[in-house]
Amino acid sequence: MHQTPDLFTEQLAIRLDLANPNHHLWNNNGTWWMHYTVYPTPITSERRRISLRTRSLKHARQKRDQILKRLVSGKFLCAA
């Protein structure tokens, strides 16, 4: 008999800092990355990091904004 796996939903935690347009971004040896936090369970947190694969701060901000919109809407798939 097959058991149905428990479904877990992650809670996304994003802070907005309007005074800092580079919030969630950092430059690692010339390549821009973004980071954000999710809570896979009520008692654990996980910091996620994604390479934006660009050396341009302007493009990094645009990519970050697109990714955050998709995360909030639940349409972002990330390989584990």
Domain count, the chain: 1
Tens digit of each residue's pLDDT (9 = 90 or more) over 5-44: 555 566 676 777 778 999 999 999 999 999 998 888 888 8
**For 21-49, b where at least 16 C-beta lie within 10 A, e where not — what string?**
eeebbeeeeeebbbebebeeeeeeeeeee
Residue 56 covered by a domain: yes
How high does pLDDT run on average in the chain?
A: 83
Domain-embedded: residue 21: yes
Q: Does the residue 69 lie in any domain?
A: yes
Which residue, among 21, 14, 24, has the nearest Cα to 58 in the 3D structure?
A: 21
Indicate whether 3 belongs to any domain: no
The answer to whether position 51 is within a domain reads yes
Q: Give the separation between CA 35 and CA 26, rounded to whole angstroms.
A: 8
- What pLDDT, on the 0 to 100 scale, is given for residue 62? 97
Residues in the chain: 80
Q: What is the pLDDT of residue 7?
A: 53
14 HSE (CA, 13 A, CB side): 18
Provide the domain limits for residue 60.
11-73
pTM, to two decimals? 0.73
The two tokens of residue 16 are 């907005």
Residue 26, domain member (yes or no): yes
